[in-house]
Chains A and B, each alone.
Chain A
Amino acid sequence: MTNVIDGILRDFGSAAGRGVVVDSPPGAGKSTLVVRAARTLAEAGERLMVVAQTNEQVDDLIDRLATAAPTLAIGRLSASTYVPAQRVIKHGTVTVSGAVGDMAASAVTIGTAAKWATVTDGSWERAIVDEAYQMRSDMLLRVAGRFSRALFVGDPGQLDPFSVVAVERWAGLSWDPMQSAVAVLLRHNPDLPVHRLPVSWRLPPSAAEVVSSAFYPFTPFEAGTKPADRRLEFSARALGGGARHDAALDETLETARRTGWALHELPARHTVRTDREAVAAIADLVTRLLQLGPVAYSEHAPDGRPVTVDRVAVGAAHRDQVAAIRQALAGTVAADVTVDTANRLQGREYDVTVILHPLSGRRDASAFHLEAGRLCVLASRHRHACVVVARAGIAELLDTHPSAEPVHLNVPVRFPDGWEANQAMLAHLSSS
């Protein structure tokens, strides 16, 4: 790991070449790399520009950087509507301002891409672009004038950026604005060095292998831990058991505890997006899980650490599904559990996740629901176990809907194929 990072920093620090790309699978230490690169360069006396995609990411990054380097002067470039987060202002070294002029004393200036796009003056020798695969290429076009050389870090297996308009006008152009920033960058600069972080520190061995083979077929990675390092135990037998309904939940949770994966299958049925039974099943699973008093044993906590509400997350494909699940959880012990869409869960980490399969209850498999990145994000947020809730019949649905997206000339083929990744994932879940 250290060797890989040293290699990256050497490439980025050298005078040759304009950029370095680092592909990082889920939980492979991307943030550690960004913080270390920022620190190393800043301590060498260089003024550095850092671009992240969301305010949340910027705040996380500042918190980590300021903690790692307490004397470093950091500038937080922000829009006028931004309310500084507690974890940002608690560091006395951080200047928050909307004007880049106020950042003259800051060794590191961090902001969202959208904010950087409004900056018209000043230039930085080096920049770090975080979550570069989430950035659309037109956004890179707007900020690239500010720096000469850059380190692009991101996870190629996650969701591609998207647009609300569907235009095929630019398909095949190397600067198609609908592509990700890294795709455009590499098409114009094919000789840039591309590094890979080879080890996932988040995913347990039970998940790393599955996620790697389904979503990263040509760039495999492995887990940084051994099967014996990670263990999940239930410290309590749930209250008021006995009903058959609860028995099914307990069985699912027990499978997840033992194997790291579980498929909670509901009877096949075509449903609306906010499938009431699936939503209820998720709510029951999450509350039941918390009632069972799960304790996670890992390399960080060999003596066990209770899995509390902030260590559990629920993921779904659509916002209305998220809203429905939140409503179902309101008033239960799980009311404070994070519930969000795949887009917003990108980059987050939890001990246990419960996800609603994007294809559950659907009559068709559209490109949106087949997108490999969506399932990949949902299936790679956990350190211990992931429970997938789905209607039966997804395999048949996939078989009747082979991907039928139009193929354009001069558009590089993207791997993995969503259809194939979905099948691989499902095959593994059904066998567990």
Chain B
Amino acid sequence: MSILTALARAEAVESGRAQPLTTVRHTHIAERPLVLVPLSLAGEAAAPLAAIVGTEPDQPRLLVVANPRDRTQRFDFVAELARVVLSYVDGCARSVDTGAGGTKLRYAEAPQVIVPNRGGIEFVRLLGRSTRFRRPFGPYPVHRTVPILGQWLTFLRERADHPGSSMLLAMTEVLGNHWATGQSGLEDANLAALLGWIDPPGGLDGAAAAALAEDPLRSPPAGPSTDPTFDNEILAPALAAVARSDSDDFARERALAALTAAVADQMRPTWDLTWQAVRLLRGRPAGASVEARWAMDRDVFTMYHMALAEGTALPQPRRDSAVAAAGRLDRLEREQARYDAQRALDDPLVMAEFRLSGEAFTGTVVAASPNRVDTSGKKAALRPHITVQTEDPVRLEPGALLVSPARLAQQAMVVSVSSVDVVLELSKGMGRSTKQPAPGSVPEVGERVTYGPVTDAYQPPGRFPSRDDTPWTHGGPPPAVEYGPSDNDAAEDWS
């Protein structure tokens, strides 16, 4: 935990309200997100019990499996879920972004699926894994939409690993990135308690609201795991009643209604809380680069949607090969660096972390020589110097490269550091002239400036061998057979 987060948490305890960690929202919230609250059956690897899903807070769609251990019923449920999710996904691909320019096609929207917590993301992964290799023919055939849903869920789950992507969000994590509460990180994983601190119901303070939220009768667990007492007292008898009523249609209908009502009671509070959180997040202004990151999400979505339609989508194998794993890690690391940089550049409160650790500073320009020319190299180059007076505890060494959020294209090199000021040498971003910088490109005396160690400049991807050139150190080339679903997939124990 950084000093600033620790301070915000202490302040949250003292004031009884969560404290903001950011001045802006760093996560895109779509106009029409799809909220999904799943429940699974305790004791099973991936047996969905129920889900509540929808794009409008007042129109939840409730799906229930009458017998979660019955694979036919389970995949009937998946087919139902597929109808909702796939129509939502296709809806996002209906209109094209006309402002993008260039020849690249980009859809105007992309799916954004919001689950209440980290467990929800794991549920999406497992459901994707258990459905994407199934087929509408062969042993245990499923509805044709089931494997397509599996591919989309897998796609969404993989996007969730990408730093800065907003296509699959765990609400507790998004809130936790924006607010600090007076409780532990473990307690923050409870959506109801977390929201109790951020937006307590009338008259309560955060701690009291969070304490109330710990009562499983008031705020049932946000899933996918259910409350054990609910399992024993309500769910088990309800499932047994459905099982007993096999021959009697009337009794079965009644038992199903009772089961549905019971799980609906468990999920409805979480559904409402998730939408409450969506409203809270919408109420905050978006950071400057949120739109650019969402455009990246839309690009990826556009490519995958078209590839699926054309049948050219890359397979989603069970495991990454050595080359694929290394390439993916390289990409994730570059995205992480960029996301961290963009947040700091968008948000003075995030930059403050760097200022506290002495890696960044804010101050006033007290001297500037905008026309300074460096003639030591082969070609004379414009290299203005500015002196910034600051009270920040600067811990920078001469030679360090910095960027100012106000002038992203410009690079600043630390020339010298004293206890009161920092001298910087500027390069780039000053126009074409080698004598006169473009107006406004060099900070003037009296201007308040911030310089930090981060840049969101593009980093080229690493170079990796092709799959067929996997070296002997990593087991040599993998088997040449392209991966595809087979009959064996349907016979997996747990699917």
Contacts and interface: CB of A to CB of B under 8 A. Distances in A.
Interface of A: 18-19, 117-118, 120, 137-138, 140-142, 144-145, 163-165, 167, 169-170, 173-178, 181, 184-185, 188-189, 272-273, 319-320, 323-324, 326-327
Contacts of B161: 165, 167, 169
B335 to A, nearest CB: 8
A144 B333 contact: no
Contacts of B202: none
A314 B471 CA distance: 40
A102 B163 CA distance: 40
Nearest to A182: B473
B472 A144 contact: yes
A295 to B, nearest CB: 32
A141 B329 contact: no
B329 A142 contact: no
Contacts of A174: 475
B473 A189 contact: yes
B463 A175 contact: no
Nearest 8 pairs of A and B residues by beta carbon: A144-B471, A138-B326, A175-B322, A323-B395, A188-B475, A144-B473, A165-B332, A177-B326
A169 B326 CA distance: 12
Contact of A320 (B319, B321, B358): B358
B325 A120 contact: no
Contact of A142 (B328, B358, B465): B465
Contacts of A142: 326, 462-465
Contacts of A189: 472-473
A19 B473 CA distance: 9
A188 B472 contact: yes
B474 A163 contact: no
A18 B358 CA distance: 48
B337 interface: yes
| Most A C-beta atoms less than 10 A away, residue of B161, B163, B395, B470 | B395
A118 B465 CA distance: 11
Contacts of A323: 357-358, 395
Contacts of A169: 161, 320, 325, 328
A390 to B, nearest CB: 20
Given A117-B463, A165-B333, A173-B319, A141 B471 contact: yes
A84 B373 CA distance: 25
B465 A145 contact: yes
A162 to B, nearest CB: 11
Interface of B: 3, 6, 161, 163, 319-323, 325-326, 328-330, 332-333, 336-337, 357-358, 395, 462-465, 469-476
A142 B395 CA distance: 35
B472 to A, nearest CB: 6
Contacts of B471: 140-141, 144-145
B322 A165 contact: no
Contacts of A185: 473
A177 B3 CA distance: 32
| Most B C-beta atoms less than 10 A away, residue of A120, A138, A164 | A138
B475 A175 contact: yes
A141 B326 contact: yes
Nearest to A164: B336
A218 to B, nearest CB: 24
B473 A177 contact: no
A178 B329 contact: yes
Contacts of B336: 164-165
Contacts of B325: 138, 169-170, 173, 175-177
Contacts of B163: 165
A320 B395 contact: yes
Nearest to B320: A170
Nearest to B2: A273
B69 to A, nearest CB: 25
Given A141-B470, A165-B161, 16 more contacts: A19-B473, A120-B463, A138-B464, A141-B323, A141-B326, A141-B473, A144-B471, A145-B465, A163-B333, A170-B320, A173-B325, A175-B322, A175-B474, A177-B326, A185-B473, A320-B357
Contacts of A117: 462-463
Contacts of A18: 472
Contact of A173 (B3, B320, B476): B320
A118 B323 CA distance: 16
27 contacts: A118-B463, A120-B463, A138-B325, A138-B330, A140-B474, A141-B465, A141-B473, A142-B463, A144-B473, A163-B329, A163-B333, A164-B336, A165-B161, A165-B336, A167-B332, A170-B320, A170-B325, A173-B320, A173-B325, A176-B325, A177-B325, A177-B329, A188-B476, A189-B473, A319-B357, A320-B357, A323-B358
A15 B450 CA distance: 60
A165 B476 CA distance: 26
Contacts of B322: 141, 175, 177
Contacts of A170: 320, 325, 329
A6 B177 CA distance: 57
Nearest to A175: B322
A85 B3 CA distance: 38
A140 B472 CA distance: 11
A272 B462 contact: no
Contacts of A320: 357-358, 395
